[in-house]
C-alpha cells in the first residue's frame, strides 16, 4: 500500500498560480519520489483541467476534487457531477471535509449519499472525519469518529480497498498550527482501522491519512506512525517549497 501525500488547496490560487505550483511540485519531486508514495493535488474546480494537464502521464501523481454532487446530471445549479470530475482527469474526491461539515452545514445523510455515489461512479473517495475541541474535551472523540464513519459509510456495502481513503482531521488542528499529539493520532487511527476491519473485508488496505497542521517539520514523524498511510495538507501545500519537503519527508 502506497502512502498518499495530498494537497488540499481549498479556495486559493489564481489559474496561473495553480499551474505554476503544480509544475513546481512535479519538477521538484518526480525524480526523488519514494517508491512507496503517491501525490495528489486537489485544486479548486475552475483549475482542475489546467492542473490535470500538468499531471497528465506523470506516474504516481493524481488529481482530486474538493466536492461533488450525488446525481448523474440535471438541474442542480452550481453543482458538479462525478462524471464531470472524471472527464477532466480526477481520480479522487473529498467528502465530508470539516469545512463542508461546519461551514457549509453538510449533514451525515448527505455525505453518505455523496460517498456511495462517488464510489459507484468510479471516483476514489477520501472520507474526512474528526472531532471538535469541545467533543475532545468531553471525552467523546471515539464516539464522534464512530458515528461519522457509521453514518457516512452506511451505503457503502462493498468497497475495493484502494478506492476508499479515510482522513482523520481533528477540527481543532485544521489551519491552527496546533498539530495533534502523536499518541492522539495513534489512538484515532487504530480506532478507525478497527472500525474498518469490522465493516469491510480487506480493510487492511484502506489508507488512513492524518490531516491538521501538517508541516515540513512534523511530516516525517507523523508519516512514520502506525496506521498512518499518508497526510492531507492544507496551508503547507500551497507552495511547492513546503509541500515538496512533505512529499519527500
Ligand atoms: P491545514 O489543513 O493543513 O491547513 O491544517 C488541512 C485540511 O484542511 O485538510
pLDDT tens track for 24-68: 999 999 999 999 999 999 999 999 999 999 999 899 999 999 999
Q: What's the pLDDT band for 235 if we cut at 50, 70, 90?
A: very high
- What CATH number is attached to the domain comprising 53? 3.20.20.70
The answer to whether the beta carbons of residues 196 and 156 sit under 8 Å apart is: no
Which of 173, 180, 214, 237 best tests ligand 1's pocket when mutated (most atoms within 8 Å of CB)? 214
Residue 171's pLDDT is 96
Q: What is the pLDDT of residues 73-85, one digit of tens each?
A: 999 999 999 999 9
Residue 203's pLDDT is 81
Q: Which domain holds residue 81?
A: 3-247
Residue 237's pLDDT is 98
Give yes or no for residue 93 having a pLDDT over 80: yes
The C-alpha angle with vertex 49 and arms to 46 and 50, in degrees rounded to 5, equals 90
Secondary structure class of 25 (helix, strand, coil): helix
Residue 160's pLDDT is 80
The answer to whether the beta carbons of residues 209 and 168 sit under 8 Å apart is: yes
Q: Pick the atom of ligand 1 nearest to 236's CA.
A: 3
- 234 Cβ inside 6 Å of ligand 1: yes
Give yes or no for residue 161 having a pLDDT over 90: no
Residue 204's pLDDT is 83
Residue 217's pLDDT is 97
128 phi/psi in degrees, rounded to 5: -100, 135
- 179 Cβ inside 6 Å of ligand 1: no
Helix (H) or strand (E) holding 223: helix 216-223
Q: What is the pLDDT of residues 95-124, one digit of tens each?
A: 999 999 999 999 999 999 999 999 999 999
Q: How far apart are CA 169 and CA 228, in angstroms?
A: 12
Residues found in the chain = 249
Whether the pTM exceeds 0.95: the reply is yes
- Per the prediction, the chain carries an average pLDDT of 96
Residue 150's pLDDT is 96
* Residues marked as catalytic: 97, 169
Q: What spacing in Å lies between the alpha carbon of 7 and ligand 1's midpoint?
A: 9
Residue 200's pLDDT is 86
The x, y and z cell numbers of residue 55, run together, are 499531471
Q: What percent of the chain has pLDDT over 90?
A: 94
- Range list of H helices, 56-179: 82-87, 98-102, 108-120, 133-137, 141-152
Report DSSP letters for 11-23, one per residue: T---HHHHHHHHH
Alpha-carbon distances of 188 from 18, 71, 96, 118, 149, rounded to whole Å = 33, 32, 17, 25, 12
Number of domain units in the chain: 1
119 phi/psi in degrees, rounded to 5: -65, -45
Residue 192's pLDDT is 97
Helix (H) or strand (E) holding 207: strand 207-211
Q: What spacing in Å lies between the alpha carbon of 211 and ligand 1's midpoint?
A: 6
Average pLDDT over residues 196-211: 91
Q: Pick the atom of ligand 1 nearest to 232's CA.
A: 9
Give yes or no for residue 157 having a pLDDT over 90: no
Q: What percent of the chain has pLDDT over 70?
A: 100
The x, y and z cell numbers of residue 85, run together, are 470530475
Q: How far apart are CA 114 and CA 214, in angstroms?
A: 26
Amino acid at each position: 500500500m502506497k502512502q498518499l501525500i495530498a494537497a488540499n488547496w481549498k479556495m486559493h490560487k489564481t489559474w496561473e498560480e495553480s499551474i505554476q505550483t503544480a509544475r513546481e511540485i512535479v519538477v521538484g519531486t518526480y525524480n526523488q519520489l519514494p517508491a512507496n508514495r503517491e501525490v495528489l493535488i486537489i485544486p479548486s474546480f475552475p483549475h482542475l483541467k489546467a492542473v490535470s494537464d500538468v499531471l497528465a502521464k506523470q506516474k504516481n501523481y493524481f488529481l482530486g476534487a474538493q466536492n461533488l454532487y450525488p446525481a448523474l446530471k440535471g438541474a442542480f445549479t452550481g453543482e458538479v457531477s462525478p462524471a464531470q470530475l472524471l472527464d477532466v482527469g480526477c481520480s479522487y474526491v473529498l467528502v465530508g471535509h470539516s469545512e463542508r461539515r461546519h461551514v457549509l452545514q453538510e449533514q451525515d445523510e448527505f455525505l453518505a449519499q455523496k460517498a456511495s455515489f462517488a464510489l459507484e461512479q468510479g471516483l476514489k473517495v477520501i472520507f474526512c472525519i474528526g472531532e471538535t475541541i469541545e467533543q475532545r474535551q468531553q471525552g467523546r472523540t471515539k464516539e464522534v469518529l464512530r458515528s461519522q464513519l457509521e453514518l457516512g459509510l452506511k451505503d457503502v456495502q462493498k468497497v475495493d480497498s484502494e478506492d476508499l481513503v479515510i482522513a482523520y482531521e481533528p477540527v481543532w488542528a485544521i489551519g491552527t498550527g496546533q498539530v495533534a499529539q502523536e499518541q492522539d493520532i495513534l489512538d484515532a487511527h487504530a480506532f478507525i482501522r478497527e472500525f474498518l476491519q469490522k465493516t469491510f473485508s480487506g480493510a487492511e488496505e484502506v489508507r488512513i491519512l492524518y490531516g491538521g497542521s501538517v508541516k515540513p517539520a512534523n511530516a516525517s514523524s507523523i508519516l512514520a506512525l502506525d496506521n498512518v498511510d499518508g497526510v492531507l495538507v492544507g496551508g503547507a501545500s500551497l507552495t511547492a517549497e513546503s509541500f515538496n519537503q512533505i512529499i519527500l519527508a
